[in-house]
Amino acid sequence: MRAAYLLRRLLYSAVAFGISVTIMFVILRLMPGDYITLYLEGIYVIAPPEVVQAYNHAYGIDRPLIDQYFSYFLGILQGDWGYSLSYSRPVLDVISEKLVWTLVILLPATILSIIAGIAIGAYSGWRRGSKADVALLNGMIFLRAIPSYWLALMILLVFAFYLGLFPLGGYVSLSALDTGIDPLDVLNHAALPIFTLFLFSVTGTYYLMRNSMLMTAGEDYIVTARAKGLDDMTILRRHALKNAMLPMVTRVALQCAGMLTGSIFVETIFSWPGIGMLTFEALQVRDLPLLQGILLMDTLIVIVANIGADMIYPFVDPRVEVGNDARA
């Protein structure tokens, strides 16, 4: 049963990805002002027709649309995601190189925010209405309302500019030219971006965990545990926490997708050479092949994260599978 379910899910994601690719194709090829002209406008005042033609030929834009569509689609599947205009390199190469750097800040920030979010959220939900809960909740609402780009700027201004505790940007010091990349030096540069991303995503985890805990705290088995005379902390740890944490599996998947958006601002402000900064650069020079590559990569990450969550969920919560059997 589990295999059939997973198969259906995989098939379904494949369709979703195919449709995303199609949408991307439509956006790229059928819209007013083709992107080659758009890009050349950035170089020439008026692009010579021969140059436009040469570019169009090189990128296959002079072929029939249906031809272009199939070769585009096949290309995507074979790892040919197009050719970046500004980097003069295959898009997938550029993206995978930058993705590593994004993960360097994204992974620690995600893991930290999940741990902290679960801990604070669980406590806050368990002690619903207490002073600590109200203070935490208002603090989180406050934090969530601050735009990430401004928060990043303020953190940069305070910790790097005024206090001088951390570098103003980049990922290594100039000394890396002589000594090679030193992990400690990278960590020093990564600290502020990680901290900002952490603040940016911890609120979401907190909200969900608190809500989940509010629901769990009203369940019958909690009342039973209380009636048995178990002390508060034991109920929280042994009964409430485990059940309230279940929705977090899905949350983690969604968070991966959300953090990519956050990283655009954070990386741009801290000059961190990852996907976010790459997106910003691509926007500045109107490098559409690169942008659509990034969009495809983001889509792929969302799909993979969702499938991952779906696959893990039945192991964490056996009830989900029972529900599936009953329906099938």
Q: What is the distance between the alpha carbons of residues 2 and 7, in angstroms, rounded to a whole number?
A: 9
User: Which of 47, 52, 61, 168 forms a contact with other proteins (CB under 8 A)?
Assistant: 168
Contact yes or no for 181/94 (Cβ under 8 A): no
Does 218 participate in binding other proteins (rule CB under 8 A)? yes
What the block records as the tokens of 152 is 């990043």
Q: Select 153 or 252, whichever has its Cβ closest to other proteins.
A: 153
Q: Select 90 or 139, whichever has its Cβ closest to other proteins.
A: 139
Q: What is the distance between the alpha carbons of residues 221 and 258, in angstroms, rounded to a whole number?
A: 34
With tokens 């080659």, the residue in question is 36
Q: Select 31 or 181, whichever has its Cβ closest to other proteins.
A: 31
User: Which of 192, 194, 222, 244 forms a contact with other proteins (CB under 8 A)?
Assistant: 222
Nearest distance in Å: CB 286, other proteins: 6
Does an H or E element contain 254, and which? helix 248-269
- In this structure, what are the phi and psi dihedrals at residue 61, rounded to the nearest 5 degrees? -80, -15
Nearest distance in Å: CB 121, other proteins: 15
What residues form DSSP beta bridges with 129?
Answer: none
Q: What is the distance between the alpha carbons of residues 284 and 109, in angstroms, rounded to a whole number?
A: 27
Does 208 participate in binding other proteins (rule CB under 8 A)? no
Does 221 participate in binding other proteins (rule CB under 8 A)? no
Contact yes or no for 108/195 (Cβ under 8 A): no
242-271: contacts with other proteins (CB under 8 A): 257, 260-261, 264-265, 268-269
What the block records as the tokens of 211 is 């809500």
User: Which of 176, 295, 311, 312 forms a contact with other proteins (CB under 8 A)?
Assistant: 295
Q: What is the distance between the alpha carbons of residues 72 and 292, in angstroms, rounded to a whole number?
A: 12
Does 17 participate in binding other proteins (rule CB under 8 A)? yes
Q: Select 105 or 291, whichever has its Cβ closest to other proteins.
A: 291
Closest C-alpha to 250, from 320, 166, 177, 325: 320
Q: What is the distance between the alpha carbons of residues 261 and 302, in angstroms, rounded to a whole number?
A: 12
Closest C-alpha to 121, from 103, 139, 133: 133
Site string for other proteins, 40-79 (x = CB under 8 A): ----------------------------------------
Quick count: other Cβ atoms within 10 Å of Cβ 190? 21
User: Which of 6, 153, 176, 312 forms a contact with other proteins (CB under 8 A)?
Assistant: 153
Residues that bind other proteins (CB under 8 A): 12-13, 15-17, 19-20, 23-24, 27, 31, 33, 35, 128-129, 134, 141-142, 144-150, 153-154, 156-157, 161-162, 168, 214-215, 217-218, 222-223, 226, 257, 260-261, 264-265, 268-269, 279-280, 283-284, 286, 288, 291-292, 294-295, 298-299, 302-303, 306
